[in-house]
Amino acid sequence: MRLLILLILVTGSSVAQQNAAKQPAPPALERSPHASVHQLTIPAGTQVPIRLENAISTKTSHPGEAVYARTTFPVAIDDKILIPAGTYVQGKIAEIKPAGRLKGRAEVLLHFTTLIYPSGYTVMLPGAIENAPGVDKARVKDKEGTIQADSNKGKTAATIARPAGEGALVGALARGGEGALIGAGVGGAIGTTIAALSHGNEVTFQPGTTLEVVIQREVQIDAARIHPSARTFDED
């Protein structure tokens, strides 16, 4: 009897092992196919039109001060909106130089560092000014995006020449030819002094100033978080 029971147990164990061997192995855990489906790239060189929210001046602003702006038009590539209108753009003043006396033009260099989408999604970006159509009497100087004030040489020359001419006229009326020379010299000296005390053109950005920012390196974004259909901000 014991031998029969032992035989049954051994046979049952063998059949169980065979059945277990025939069962298919459980499928391995697969990586989610949606892990990168929403990943998009903003290419380097992409132009982003913005409008400043705060004032900046080479006369009163300082390096390190924050710069705030908003995009004014959607940026789309391959029928996908990568940066909706109304996205906040944040940066800082990297370098600034006020206008000098007689020579030395005013300059300001802005670096843009962050995109803040209407949804609250935040992305780091390297951005520089490529064009400054809304800035008067200034131009973009280099690839870094430095904005430089126009030269005021003509204005300086006029400042010196006018007192010189008036002095020559007064001198001529008083003492003839010799008086004209003396009067011109005195007037020119006065004009030079006035020019030396005055400064050149400053670079000034008022709130609402329009600029074009270029993204310097490609930026990875999550399309599921930017909500391109979100309501854009109203114009002020």
Q: What is the DSSP string of 3-15?
A: HHHHHHHHHHHHH
pLDDT at 210: 94
pLDDT at 168: 45
Burial letters for 96-130: b for 16+ Cβ neighbours within 10 Å, e otherwise?
Answer: bbbbeeeeebbbbbbbbeebebbeeeebebebbbb
Give the C-alpha separation, 84 to 74, whole Å.
Answer: 4
pTM score, whole prediction: 0.61
Q: What is the DSSP string of 164-175?
A: HHHHHHHHHHHH
Question: 10 Å Cβ neighbour count for 62?
Answer: 7
pLDDT at 157: 45
Joined tokens for residue 46? 């992409």
pLDDT at 101: 55
Give the C-alpha separation, 86 to 72, whole Å.
Answer: 6
Specify the DSSP class assigned to residue 194: H
pLDDT at 43: 95
- pLDDT, averaged in runs of 10, over the chain (236 residues): 51 53 48 60 95 94 96 93 95 92 80 95 93 82 86 50 48 51 47 46 92 94 75 46
